[in-house]
Amino acid sequence: MFANIALRTVLKSSAGILRESGAVCSALSATPWACSSALLGARVGGVAGSFAALPPVRHYARAAKKKREGSEGQLSDLTPTMLKMHYAAVPLVQTTDDVVRRLLSLELASHSEKLQLKMEQLIAKVQRDENDRSSVQVRVAILTAKIRNYKEHLHKHHKDKANKRRMLMAIDRRKKLLKNLRLVHYETFETVCQQLGITYTFPPEYHRRATRRWLAKKEFCIKVFNEVQKQKKEQMLNKTSLASTDAEAAKADKSAATVSL
């Protein structure tokens, strides 16, 4: 019974609102959006228990996304007229047709071929001789070319987690190689960093946050260490005293033996 009464009241209030809205729209004789705004204003002071839908919000004034400014990559210095790596030393290429020369140049080369040529240029700067392909300097040059390629790729595709992981692994390997080279041959390390444009940074010092538990544990460990050192000193003193008494007893036995003779 109460549900029927409530339903009737809601229907009566909605019918009254529709009549008021029709009157307002006919009086205004405006555009549909003006009529909807008038309806909204009329509904604010309407009958309690009913509701009105808000007008849709359109983001016409949304700010445009800023494009990331890309810096010049490591392959920017390779001109399109340069020949590919396998055809640069062939003398017949210089006398061929323009179409064939264009096919053998970097203008139509893939990214991997350009990266291979750049890698060879970096290797030529630091290798010891023409047949050097496995020294530390050459491995550092190869890793440097790969790291810069990963960096340029991640600048455009910053959500590529797999290549980001490969880049971090390559950086760690290069750090280890440079650290060992710095300890063994410092002059070679300086020339490699200068030729390849690498800035070597030292790892940060180890820092641990001092908590109350850690401080109490440290104090206890210091006390235990001091007690152990005291015990070791006492044992050494006992050993030296026993050795001195044994030596005195041996001298006394020798002197007694000589007297008896």
- CA 249, distance to chain mean position in Å, is 74
* 56-108 pLDDT per residue, tens: 656 555 565 666 665 678 888 888 888 887 777 777 777 787 888 888 888 88
Residues in the chain: 261
Residue 74 · residue 149 · CB < 8 Å: yes
Residue appearing with tokens 């030393």: 89
Residue 190 pLDDT? 94
Residue 82 pLDDT? 82
> Is pLDDT at 19 greater than 70 in this prediction?
no
Residue 108 pLDDT? 83
Average pLDDT for 11-32: 51
Residue predicted with more confidence, 140 or 42: 140
Residue 35 · residue 22 · CB < 8 Å: no
Residue 105's beta-bridge partner residues?
A: 83
| pLDDT band, very low/low/confident/very high, at 36 (cuts 50, 70, 90) | very low
Dihedral sign of CA atoms 143, 133, 188, 181 in order: positive
From 35-39, 59-63, 115-119, 257-261, the region with the lowest mean pLDDT: 35-39
> Is pLDDT at 158 greater than 50 in this prediction?
yes
Residue appearing with tokens 């007229």: 81
Residue 142 pLDDT? 95
| pLDDT band, very low/low/confident/very high, at 41 (cuts 50, 70, 90) | very low
Average pLDDT for 158-171: 94
* 174-232 pLDDT per residue, tens: 999 999 999 999 999 999 999 999 998 887 777 778 899 999 999 999 999 999 999 99
In CATH, the number for domain 110-196 is 1.10.287
Residue 118 · residue 146 · CB < 8 Å: no
Dihedral sign of CA atoms 222, 226, 229, 235 in order: negative
Residue 103 pLDDT? 82
The highest-confidence range among 7-16, 33-42, 158-167, 247-256, by mean pLDDT, is: 158-167
Task: Please list the alpha-helical segments (H only) found in the chain.
Answer: 2-28, 32-44, 98-104, 111-126, 136-156, 161-184, 186-196, 212-260
Mean of the per-residue pLDDT values for the chain? Answer: 79
Judged on CB neighbours under 10 Å (0-12, 13-18, 19+), 141 is buried
Residue 27 pLDDT? 47
Residue 114: CB atoms within 10 Å: 19
User: Which of 196, 101, 115, 204 has its CA nearest to residue 152?
Assistant: 115
Residue 178 pLDDT? 94
